[in-house]
């Protein structure tokens, strides 16, 4: 279904908000937040404070990850009444490691317009400041909070031949860096903290150097991982695993040997092997 974003029909506007510096609010964002019938927010207190600072008076309703289904219904009813609505999160662009995906899905399903405004997003300046290749990159967001799953995710990331971007909270940074060292090796990374704020800083160096640098840290964290120097050909490595197995080596031992030999992901090789058996 083809939709025209600006056909004067009721619309949900996804409005980015500053991630630190209030001056990063766009003129258009201010216009939308002023003109819509209501603003749905991740935290009504944070958004009300922002609107007051901008001199905007508007109704603010709650919409966080636990209330998206209910909020979708409220927004759809407003849209059916011919009203425009805005959705914001505490900082940055909605849906980017933030609530909003379910809302958008439901609004699109009902046939209403969803209009996304460009604006503040932490991972773009972090990538720009990293000094790493930006022709192709992957934004991964937050690793899983369970360590076993986070380690599996890092094993997957190890196979990417692209610059990779992670979000991380301050209290988990040290643990994540140590897990990265364990799975990825002592790669070059950058860590951006307090982006756009007065105390913004960018670390560039190895994972080991980052562990030594960040003993105690506050603020929002963006980690950028340098891409692999050489792309790993997993098809060739899988052939070597199969050859070792045919010579009598146990499958797990063959996987462990080849993954260590080529600094490759054992999980990736295992998944490929299981797929080949089907």
Classified as helix, coil or strand, 1 is coil
Pairing of strands 221-225, 188-193: antiparallel
Domain 123-225 in CATH 3.40.50.300? The answer is no
By the 8 A CB rule, do 151 and 251 touch?
no
Provide the residue-wise pLDDT of the chain in tens; the chain has 278 residues. 788 888 999 999 999 999 999 999 999 999 999 999 999 999 999 999 999 999 999 999 999 989 999 999 999 999 999 999 999 999 999 999 999 999 999 999 999 999 999 999 999 999 999 999 999 999 999 999 999 999 999 988 988 889 999 999 999 999 999 999 999 989 999 999 999 999 999 999 999 999 999 988 988 899 999 998 666 788 888 899 999 989 999 999 999 898 888 877 888 888 888 888 87
- Exposure class string for 25-49: b at 16+ Cβ within 10 A, else e: bbeebeebbeebebbbbbbeebbee
Q: CA-to-CA distance for 244 and 259, rounded, in angstroms?
A: 13
| Fold designation for 11-116 | Cobalt-precorrin-4 Transmethylase; domain 1 (3.40.1010)
């Amino acid at each position: 279904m083809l939709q025209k974003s600006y056909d004067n029909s009721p619309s949900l506007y996804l409005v980015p908000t500053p991630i630190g510096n209030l001056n990063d609010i766009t003129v258009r964002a201010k216009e939308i937040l002023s003109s819509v019938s209501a603003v749905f927010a991740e935290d009504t207190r944070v958004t009300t404070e922002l609107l007051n600072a901008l001199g905007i008076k508007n109704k603010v309703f709650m919409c966080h990850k636990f209330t998206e289904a209910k909020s979708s219904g409220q927004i759809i009813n407003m849209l059916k009444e011919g009203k425009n609505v805005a959705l914001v999160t505490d900082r940055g662009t909605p849906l980017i490691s933030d609530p909003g995906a379910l809302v958008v899905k439901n609004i699109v399903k009902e046939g209403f317009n969803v209009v996304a405004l460009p604006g503040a997003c932490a991972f773009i300046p972090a990538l720009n400041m990293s000094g790493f290749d930006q022709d192709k990159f992957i934004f991964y967001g937050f690793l899983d909070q369970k360590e076993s799953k986070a380690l599996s995710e890092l094993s997957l990331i190890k196979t990417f031949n692209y610059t990779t971007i992670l979000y991380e909270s301050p209290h988990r940074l040290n643990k994540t860096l140590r897990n990265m060292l364990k799975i990825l090796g002592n790669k070059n990374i950058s860590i951006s903290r307090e982006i756009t704020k007065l105390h913004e800083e960018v670390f560039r160096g190895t994972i080991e150097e980052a562990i030594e640098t960040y003993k105690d840290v506050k603020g929002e964290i963006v980690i950028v991982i340098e891409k692999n120097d050489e792309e790993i050909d997993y098809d060739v490595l899988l052939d070597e695993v199969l050859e070792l197995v045919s010579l009598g080596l146990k499958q797990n031992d063959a996987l462990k040997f080849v993954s260590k030999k080529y600094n490759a992901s054992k999980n990736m090789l295992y998944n490929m092997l299981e797929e080949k058996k089907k």
